């Protein structure tokens, strides 16, 4: 039965690192075959120049702990929630009461629950992720050609009085990505209400798309790869798993509908997001941002004309506003002094390219994330 309660003021909102939402980080089944040593995604991404690149994401578990599995994402999101509460001020996170943490992630506060938590922490500490052309570095605004990293450097549980304390330390790569703001907000109350790891992972992936889309279409096999479903099984089995998870997201209000469609390469699925779910604060912020972008465009046109509107809009969206106004000020001064050797627009284009090259170490290009 479809729920009418999409969100509540009491809902807990956490953060999720965007690369972890985009690519698989765990096996979705309770058990893992002895022959499965890695989780792998391969595909094509567009770099910051708009150039297609072959990309690869490989997750390897430690020899003793194996691959992250089943509900290990629950633990990672729980940790990020506590990091958020502490203001993301330190790589080392201290949770003074593990029982409280277990309640957050909806795990049993029992001996078995603690055993599973320790196993999950061991796997999250031991996992190695190798990314080629698909790890987005927000600081440099491009995909890294190659990076190999862990998620956690350390996880420790110790008894203090009547409570057990959990201390974890994020790896430098994971922490740097967090510090550079490569995060999205996620409704943890909704996430933990979902019944299966496949539903949770599908929600995590689609939640990254909902902010900028009313609908989202993707190839079925491609989607399976992104969320960690084994793509080597029969397509009908893949479709059944995605259908089951999508149905739960409809029943619980995140999706309005989903539909499968035949395509030239097989089959696609189109998700329609429930408009009531979209974050009104985010939409308001986006509207304000667009209003300011239009203001910047008008300011640029007033000084240099509208010779190339595509370039002007890209400049307004790509360059910090203080640097844009500095460039416009320089052009005005040069023009008034009679020292402008080109047209005002050509001078603007040249200065914008120089500034962007200084910031990004790249020529002026469209930014694709």
Distance CA 20, CA 38 (A): 16
What are the residue ranges in the chain where pLDDT is below 70?
1-9, 212, 278-287, 359-369
**Among the CATH numbers 2.60.40.10, 1.10.10.10, 3.20.20.60, 3.20.20.140, which is that of 195-278?**
1.10.10.10
Tell me which DSSP letter residue 265 carries.
T
To which residue do tokens 């929630």 refer?
81
Tokens read off for 62: 């430690």
Selection from 130, 132, 100 nearest residue 113 by Cα: 100
Q: Are the CB atoms for 68 and 123 separated by under 8 Å?
A: yes
In this prediction the pTM is 0.76
Q: Are the CB atoms for 286 and 237 separated by under 8 Å?
A: no
Q: What ranges do the domains of the chain cover?
A: 14-193, 195-278, 282-360
Three-state DSSP state, 344: helix
CB burial of residue 333 (10 Å; 0-12, 13-18, 19+): exposed
Distance CA 332, CA 340 (A): 9
Distance CA 358, CA 24 (A): 34
Distance CA 182, CA 113 (A): 31
pLDDT for the residue numbered 363: 35
Q: Are the CB atoms for 317 and 369 separated by under 8 Å?
A: no
pLDDT for the residue numbered 181: 92
Q: What is the DSSP string of 28-84?
A: SSSS--TT--EEEEEEEEE-TTS-EEEEEEEEE-BTTTBS-BTTHHHHHHHHHHHHH
Selection from 78, 67, 66, 62 nearest residue 25 by Cα: 67
β-sheet bridge partners, residue 94: 167
Distance CA 169, CA 150 (A): 11
Tokens read off for 252: 């619980």
Q: What is the DSSP string of 208-264?
A: TTGGG-SEEEEEHHHHHHHHT--TTS-HHHHHHHHHHHHHHHHHTTSEEEEEEEEET
pLDDT for the residue numbered 4: 44
């Amino acid at each position: 039965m479809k729920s009418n309660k999409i969100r509540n003021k009491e809902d807990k909102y956490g953060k999720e690192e965007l690369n972890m939402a985009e690519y698989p980080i765990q096996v979705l089944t309770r058990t893992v075959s002895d022959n499965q040593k890695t989780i792998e995604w391969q595909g094509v991404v567009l770099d910051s120049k708009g150039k297609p690149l072959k990309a690869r994401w490989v997750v390897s578990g430690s020899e003793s702990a194996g691959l992250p599995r089943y509900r290990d994402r629950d633990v990672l999101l729980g940790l990020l929630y506590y990091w958020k509460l502490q203001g993301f001020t330190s790589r080392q996170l201290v949770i003074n009461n593990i029982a409280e943490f277990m309640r957050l992630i909806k795990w049993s506060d029992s001996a078995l629950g603690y055993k599973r938590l320790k196993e999950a922490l061991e796997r999250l500490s031991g996992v190695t992720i190798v990314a080629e052309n698909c790890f987005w570095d927000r600081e440099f605004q491009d995909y890294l050609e190659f990076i190999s990293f862990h998620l956690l450097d350390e996880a420790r549980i110790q008894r203090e009085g009547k409570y057990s304390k959990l201390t974890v330390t994020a790896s430098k790569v994971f922490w740097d990505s967090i510090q550079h703001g490569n995060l999205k907000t996620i409704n943890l109350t909704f996430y933990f209400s979902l019944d299966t790891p496949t539903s949770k992972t599908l929600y995590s992936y689609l939640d990254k798309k909902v902010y900028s889309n009313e609908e989202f279409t993707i190839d079925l096999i491609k989607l399976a790869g992104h969320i960690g479903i084994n793509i080597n099984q029969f397509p009908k089995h893949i479709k059944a798993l995605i259908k089951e998870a999508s149905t739960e997201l409809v029943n619980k209000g995140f999706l309005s509908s989903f539909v499968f469609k035949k395509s030239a390469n097989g089959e696609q699925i189109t998700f329609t997001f429930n408009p009531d779910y979209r974050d009104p604060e985010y939409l308001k912020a986006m509207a304000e941002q667009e209003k300011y972008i239009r203001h910047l465009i008008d300011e640029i046109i007033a000084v240099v004309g509208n010779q190339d509107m595509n370039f002007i809009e890209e400049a307004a969206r790509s360059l910090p506003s203080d640097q844009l106004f500095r460039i416009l000020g320089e052009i005005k001064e040069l023009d008034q002094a009679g020292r402008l050797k080109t047209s005002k627009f050509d001078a603007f284009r040249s200065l914008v390219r120089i500034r962007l090259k200084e910031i990004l170490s790249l020529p002026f290009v469209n930014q694709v994330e």
